[in-house]
Amino acid sequence: KEFLGEIQTYLNKLLVYLNPYIEITFHEHQENSWYERSKAYAYIQRYLSTHSSKSIKKFKANVGKDCESVVLSIDDYQEVTDEFNGVKVWWTSGKTTLHSNNDDLEKRYYKLTCKRRHRDFVTKVYMQHVLDEGKAIRVRTRQRKLYTNNKSENWYGYQRTMWSHVVFEHPSTFDTLAMDPKKKKEILNDLITFSRSKDYYKKEGKSWKRGYLINGPPGTGKSSMIAAMANFLEYDIYNLELAFVKDNTELRKLLINTSSKSIIVIEDIDCLFDLMGQRKEKKEGSKEEEKDPIATKAKAEKDRDKKGSEGTLSGLLNFIDELWSTCGSERLIVLTTNYVENLGLSLTRKGRMDMHIEMSYCCYETFKVLAKNYLNVESHELFATIGRLLEESNITPADVAENLMPKSDEDNVETCLNKLIKSLEDAKGEAKLET
Ligand SMILES: Nc1ncnc2c1ncn2[C@@H]1O[C@H](COP(=O)(O)OP(=O)(O)OP(=O)(O)O)[C@@H](O)[C@H]1O
Ligand SMILES: [Mg+2]
């Protein structure tokens, strides 16, 4: 009997030796951490769902938390064949169920089978390919988000969130954005250089971020510009509502909770002037003051030269410095304002913002892009008249767009252009009356 047992073990070993295949298993959850989903598992899932769509008929849908994304993956025990550099591998997915005291835990895995002699190639080269590709697919297909910060009263408790989000779906792109083509090119180049300079920033010991100050009257496309940037770089947007931020500590907490590949936006930074002023007055004389660097610094400044606005300006700059130093890498910081006068100067001069973008009233070049967007025309006999009128009046791209947009079935290129001409003439008349 002992002898038989020994034979059995040898036979098993022989079988293993003769079996030309090996199996590698990737579990959904790391050992000892059921809460942390393995990144490799997620990447393999993406990889297989795009590389197997032809050969497979049964899929399983995983719908994201907010019903915002659907990821297909191969259903249990379906086999997928993949080939890479002439090496064939087979994938299956499956699950084991663990019975614990309260509930059954499903443990899912992907199993990779390949020829024994390909082992090195598969574990080193092929798997690297799968993981890289899976990661790239995930970046490509991720839904981008628009975040806004909540009041800090809502940061705690049952549904605590600092940032609320919706899916970001603004249609604006650099193609539809109407502005001086030379400036547009400049901005695009700047963004491209930025997105490719990871190593440069690292080598220079700088963190990888860039700041833009966008100014222009309402309706000239500042928000559209930010959306176009986000669409171009495929970044998320964090809209920072400073009225909800009490002090630098809160600001810091918010910024730490932003993710990379994002644009942090503060709109209407000039309104912040007033906000800073209020904050300072409230704090004045209170004990809190010593703890708050903004107020303290602002007060010191004020005491020194007794100029109120200087105090608030330095408070604002302080805030922005905090913003710069706290938010992590791979981020754009964009500030917008309607009035640039002293604000823009002090922001750009002191090296805080890298680029100053000016959005202006509609000129002929801008109009041509809008006409292409809304009416799909590149030239028309009325263009000359419009060009001349544009030179004589200040009308925003938003107003031009409003006129060009066909509103009923009767509207066509001709009627829309005439509508615009009428508005331009009215605007000109008004301007004359004012002077
Ligand atoms: N330069 C532009 N190119 C294309 N569309 C524009 C442009 N400017 C304005 N528009 C149109 O006008 C609308 C309003 O523009 P947008 O919100 O970008 O202006 P804004 O400068 O952010 O204004 P505000 O200062 O009021 O926030 C946009 O939805 C867009 O359709
Ligand atoms: Mg705006």
Residue nearest atom 27 of ligand 1, based on CA coordinates: 218
Instruction: Give, for ligand 1, the residue of 183, 223, 366 to mutate: max count of ligand atoms closer than 8 Å to Cβ.
Output: 223
**In 281-390, where do the E strands start and end?**
331-337, 355-358
Q: Are 313 and 273 in contact (CB under 8 A)?
A: yes
**Residue entry with tokens 């990737």:** 26
Phi, psi angle pair for 345, to nearest 5°: -60, -50
408-414 long-range CB contacts below 8 Å, 24 or more apart? 413/375, 413/377, 413/380, 414/382
**Half-sphere CA count of 250, side-chain side, radius 13 A:** 20
Q: How far is CA 112 from CA 20, 150, 257, in A?
A: 14, 45, 37
| Ligand 1 close to Cβ of residue 216 (< 6 A) | yes
| Ligand 1 close to Cβ of residue 403 (< 6 A) | no
Ligand nearest to the CA of 217: 1
| Ligand 1 close to Cβ of residue 177 (< 6 A) | yes
Integer Cα distance of 369 and 378 in angstroms: 8
| Residue type for position 141 | T
| DSSP letters for 133-173 | HHHHHHHHHPPPEEEEEPPGGGGSSTT--SEEEEE------
pLDDT tens, per residue, the chain with 435 residues? 678 788 888 887 777 777 788 899 998 876 665 556 678 888 888 888 877 655 666 666 666 555 555 666 677 777 888 889 999 999 988 888 766 665 566 778 899 999 988 999 999 999 999 999 988 887 777 778 899 998 887 777 655 678 888 888 888 999 999 998 999 999 999 999 998 888 888 888 788 889 999 989 999 999 999 999 999 998 999 999 888 888 778 888 888 888 888 999 999 887 766 655 555 555 554 444 444 555 555 544 444 433 344 456 676 777 777 787 877 788 999 999 887 665 655 666 656 788 989 999 999 999 999 999 999 999 999 999 999 999 988 899 999 999 999 888 888 999 999 999 999 998 887 777 776
Integer Cα distance of 434 and 428 in angstroms: 10
Instruction: Say what the pLDDT of residue 248 is.
Output: 79
Residue nearest atom 8 of ligand 1, based on CA coordinates: 221
Among the listed residues 133, 166, 143, the one whose alpha carbon sits nearest the alpha carbon of residue 42: 133
Integer Cα distance of 289 and 268 in angstroms: 26
Among the listed residues 114, 110, 132, the one whose alpha carbon sits nearest the alpha carbon of residue 123: 114
Angle between helices 308-326 and 248-256 (to 10 degrees): 30
Integer Cα distance of 35 and 172 in angstroms: 38
| Ligand 1 close to Cβ of residue 45 (< 6 A) | no
Instruction: Say what the pLDDT of residue 255 is.
Output: 87
Instruction: Say what the pLDDT of residue 303 is.
Output: 44
Confidence (pTM): 0.68
SS3 per-residue string spanning 246-273? CCHHHHHHHHHCCCCCEEEEECCCCHHH
SS3 assignment, position 44: helix
| Ligand 1 close to Cβ of residue 49 (< 6 A) | no
SS3 assignment, position 68: coil
Non-local CB neighbours of 423 within 8 Å, separated by 6+ positions: 395, 399, 403
Handedness of CA 322, 324, 325, 331 (dihedral sign): positive
State the distance from the centre of ligand 1 to the C-alpha of 219, rounded, in angstroms: 4
| Ligand 1 close to Cβ of residue 215 (< 6 A) | no
Instruction: Say what the pLDDT of residue 146 is.
Output: 92
Integer Cα distance of 393 and 422 in angstroms: 12
Ligand nearest to the CA of 221: 1
Ligand nearest to the CA of 181: 1
Q: Are 114 and 92 in contact (CB under 8 A)?
A: no
SS3 assignment, position 414: helix
Instruction: Give, for ligand 1, the residue of 146, 173, 220, 375 to mutate: max count of ligand atoms closer than 8 Å to Cβ.
Output: 220
Residue nearest atom 24 of ligand 1, based on CA coordinates: 218
Handedness of CA 127, 132, 138, 141 (dihedral sign): negative
